[in-house]
Amino acid sequence: MFRRPWKGQGNLTDSFSSSSGGDFGDATHILCLGAPEQVKGLQWALDHKAPSRRAYKVYRGRLDELSSSYNEYDYVVLLLDLGQPVPVEFLKDVAPKKEGLCAFIQPTPGQLLALNEFSDWDAVAWDGATTSDLSVRIDKAVDDLDRKINSKAFIDSARQWIKKQFHDVEEIRLINPPENWAQTLVRKLDRSVGVFSFGARESRADIKLPFPGSEDFCELRYFEKTWSVQALSKNLPIELRGDPSGLRCGDELQIHDLVFSFGRDSELDKFVGVAKKLDIIHDSDIDEVHDGRRSENVEDTIEGFCRALMSRQAVGELQVKAGHRSGSIYFYSGNVVHAMTGAVSGAKALLRIIHWPDSSWAFHEGVAAKVPLESIRLDLVGFTRSVNTSKKILNKVQAYIPPGNVSLKIVPDKFRAKRFWTIPETKVLASVGEYGIVRDILNYCPLPDAEIFETLIELRQQGLLLPVVAQKRNV
């Protein structure tokens, strides 16, 4: 996952992270409201004392901006003496939507009890805790948070997969076999072959029916996700209770006195039973399918398809096309390990591909084992958070995104007057100075496109950048 720090003067006071900005999938970002030395101490403690050894970045923020900026971070820590009364007015907009920890100096029972109304917030007496103690509490809370997100992402994917499978006919069962029936009562339907036949005893059909006459024959065909029944003899009475152009689970086929039922694979039934016990799927989901109402399938989007691949530990290459653009995303054992499109690779390419409109894709099993490099490693949690963060940024700046052929220039006076710089600002401004054109800045600046657009817009609002106006040539 990646999280951007606050931008602009006066917002991000200090960042005490030891690594560079623009990270992707390797750090948990924490907004900490406290004194500079407290924030620095917490960063050190998380780097050296956190049991999970996960990477953390701690950013110092301001209390009056908490309600508007908490979404940029994974976790919030308040190390301020918020005084009396209990700081519900500061937390009521944040606590229901964001997890965090609130440290009180000499807390009263009323303060601690009032904080209990926010189930995902923890309280600690700051005057009795060290930064090492806080780091252990925070590390455990973040670990629990990731587990919840991972669990929800899996449950969503499993529910959608089950719904999709319910629509597909997997096998055919004979409901009323005659006494002399010697064949199996359940047969799998092979979609790769596309034809499943019924015929008389003398025929070469997949299922031989116990009635005389080799001329009587019918076929069940599968073509482009549609099943149809075709009678090859006028003497063969066929009654289908259902839509012959699109067989669904529960449809029945009657040939003479024999009744066949189309249904799901028995393995799916077992999985559904376990999923219901684990609260992955509910009776309402099954009822919805049996009623014939088709729900929106998450795999209809490139983002949802990627999550489904990670959920089932896929290994391979996902090739994506959108107009004249093409790219690849590589998966290995539940992780996105590489992505590339054109001259761009890694996290930058992944998000660019995910945001392409009207894309089509095809997954090739096993190709990921041949990837020459592992540029990223995103599990389901990191992927979901990264894409969601990118979407939020793009939705906010969409109306102000400059065209790719626009040239930009730096305003020297404003540049010298600016006192505070964020890491994204320095990287984007360096790319502007070196390349100048927006499309080149997007391709060569290491930050994700959404963060580049946002930073360009903020630098333009601060007066640090100006578009280059083409000069009219005198004829």
Query: Parallel, antiparallel, or unpaired: how do β-strands 408-410 and 195-200 relate?
Result: unpaired
| Strands in 275-334 per DSSP E | 316-322, 325-332
pLDDT confidence of residue 73: 81
pLDDT confidence of residue 107: 67
224: left (phi over 0), alpha (psi -120 to 50) or beta: left
pLDDT confidence of residue 110: 67
Rounded distance, CA 370 to CA 142, Å? 34
160-186 pLDDT per residue, tens: 777 767 777 888 888 888 887 878 888
Q: Which two tokens stand for residue 354?
A: 């995910």
CB contact at 8 A, 127 and 150? no
Rounded distance, CA 330 to CA 319, Å? 9
Residue with the bigger pLDDT between 243 and 59: it is 59
Specify the residue for token string 């653009």.
325
CB contact at 8 A, 251 and 244? no
**Count of other CB atoms within 10 angstroms of residue 123:** 18
Residue with the bigger pLDDT between 247 and 440: it is 440
Residue with the bigger pLDDT between 24 and 76: it is 76
pLDDT confidence of residue 295: 37
81-97 pLDDT per residue, tens: 555 444 556 677 777 77
pLDDT confidence of residue 150: 72
pLDDT above 90 covers a percentage of the chain that reads: 9
In DSSP terms, which residues pair with 227 in a beta bridge?
Answer: 222
pLDDT confidence of residue 321: 93
Q: Which two tokens stand for residue 253?
A: 């086929």
pLDDT confidence of residue 356: 92
Query: Parallel, antiparallel, or unpaired: how do β-strands 75-78 and 100-104 relate?
Result: parallel
Is it the case that residue 153 has pLDDT exceeding 90? no
Closest CA to 102 of 80, 69, 127: 80
Residue with the bigger pLDDT between 231 and 150: it is 231
260-277 pLDDT per residue, tens: 988 888 777 777 777 777
Mean pLDDT on 441-470: 87
Q: Which two tokens stand for residue 59?
A: 């950013």
423-455 pLDDT per residue, tens: 888 889 889 888 889 999 999 898 899 999 999
Mean pLDDT on 124-136: 77
pLDDT confidence of residue 214: 63
Q: Which two tokens stand for residue 179?
A: 């006494």
For the chain, helix, strand, coil in percent to 5 are 40, 25, 40
199's enclosing H/E stretch is strand 195-200
pLDDT confidence of residue 87: 57
pLDDT confidence of residue 128: 59
- Using CA atoms, how far residue 193 sits from 167, 188, 200, in Å, is 19, 12, 21
Backbone angles phi, psi at 99, to 5 degrees: -80, 150
Rounded distance, CA 240 to CA 254, Å? 6
pLDDT confidence of residue 348: 92
pLDDT above 70 covers a percentage of the chain that reads: 80
**Count of other CB atoms within 10 angstroms of residue 416:** 7
Rounded distance, CA 329 to CA 319, Å? 7
Is it the case that residue 281 has pLDDT exceeding 60? yes
The per-type count for the chain, helices as H runs and strands as E runs, is 14, 21
Confidence of residue 341 (pLDDT cuts 50, 70, 90): very high
Give 260's contacts (C-beta < 8 A, 6+ positions apart).
172, 173, 174, 175, 252, 253, 254
Give 431's contacts (C-beta < 8 A, 6+ positions apart).
440, 441, 444, 445, 452
Mean pLDDT on 71-77: 81
Residue with the bigger pLDDT between 424 and 69: it is 424
pLDDT confidence of residue 16: 35
Residue with the bigger pLDDT between 455 and 471: it is 455
pLDDT confidence of residue 26: 62
pLDDT confidence of residue 148: 77
Backbone angles phi, psi at 252, to 5 degrees: -125, 145
Closest CA to 230 of 259, 210, 255: 255
Confidence of residue 43 (pLDDT cuts 50, 70, 90): very high
In DSSP terms, which residues pair with 92 in a beta bridge?
Answer: none
Mean pLDDT on 334-342: 90
Burial 223-255 (b: 16+ CB within 10 A, else e): eeeebebeeeeeebeeebebeeeebbbbbbbeb
Rounded distance, CA 78 to CA 236, Å? 78
Coil vs helix vs strand at 194: coil
pLDDT confidence of residue 95: 75
Confidence of residue 76 (pLDDT cuts 50, 70, 90): confident
Confidence of residue 10 (pLDDT cuts 50, 70, 90): very low
84's enclosing H/E stretch is none
Mean pLDDT on 214-218: 77
Confidence of residue 353 (pLDDT cuts 50, 70, 90): very high
Is it the case that residue 329 has pLDDT exceeding 90? yes
Q: How many Å from the N-terminal Cα to the C-terminal Cα in the chain?
A: 54
Mean pLDDT on 43-50: 90
Mean pLDDT on 179-201: 83
Is it the case that residue 468 has pLDDT exceeding 50? yes
Confidence of residue 326 (pLDDT cuts 50, 70, 90): very high
